[in-house]
Amino acid sequence: MRSLCSRRLRAGRTFCGGNMIAIQTKDVDIGQLINTAKQRGAGAIVVFDGIVRDDDIQEMELEAYEEVAVKELEKIAEEAKTLHNLCSVDIIHRIGRLAVGENILIIVVSAGHRREAYEGSRFIIEAIKAGVPIWKKELTKDGGRWVPGEHVHGSGKPIR
């Protein structure tokens, strides 16, 4: 079930059919995203909220290859909608300096039933981890350390 909302484009983000795909420094109102996800045909909403873990760090710094990362997030959202029959998908990935406990990645999906919503959400987070050009650096009192990626794919082909 697709919303009839018109498509509007803003810098670094896309609104399409009630969906929001963005890479941004500021936080987002998850409650508002949930309300927007309550579309006709939706019977389940799954929220994934990845936050900065307290691993004896002071802050976390995130950076992205923004132009490419936004396009890849849009592609992942469309794939997830098609594969898991989702009504709506929101993906907001934050960049910049974040303190322990702050939101890093918020994924909100709605679907007709729980199975599709859970599986769609899982598909999106795994696809982001596998290939979207975003990096994290843990800032500690002794300096900083880049978080190693989970996937080695210098072959140019992201592992899905």
Partner 1 sequence: MWRFKEREEEEEMTVKVRFFARFRELFGTDIVTDAAPGTSFIDLIKKIAEKNREGYEAIFDTNGAFREFVILMKNGKRIDCTDAGKTLINDGDEIAVFPPVAGG
Identity at 34, one-letter amino acid code? I
**In whole angstroms, what is the distance from residue 74 CA to residue 70 CA?**
6
Q: How far is the CB of 129 from partner 1 (least distance, A)?
A: 5
User: Is the Cβ–Cβ distance between 71 and 21 less than 8 Å?
Assistant: no
Residue closer to partner 1 by CB (options 86, 132) is 132
Site string for partner 1, 37-76 (x = CB under 8 A): -------------x-----------xxxx-xxx-x-----
Among 42, 104, 106, 117, binds partner 1 (CB under 8 A): 104
Q: Is 146 in the site for partner 1 (CB under 8 A)?
A: yes
Q: Is 125 in the site for partner 1 (CB under 8 A)?
A: yes
Question: What are the residues facing 97 on neighbouring strands?
Answer: 61
**In whole angstroms, what is the distance from residue 103 CA to residue 88 CA?**
20
**In whole angstroms, what is the distance from residue 150 CA to residue 116 CA?**
25
Q: Is 31 in the site for partner 1 (CB under 8 A)?
A: no
Residue closer to partner 1 by CB (options 54, 150) is 150
Q: What is the DSSP string of 110-151?
A: EESSHHHHHHHHHHHHHHHHHH--EEEEEEETTEEEEPPPS-
H or E segment to which residue 50 belongs: strand 44-51
Q: How far is the CB of 7 from partner 1 (least distance, A)?
A: 21
Q: Is 132 in the site for partner 1 (CB under 8 A)?
A: yes
Residues that bind partner 1 (CB under 8 A): 50, 62-65, 67-69, 71, 93, 104-105, 125, 128-137, 146-158
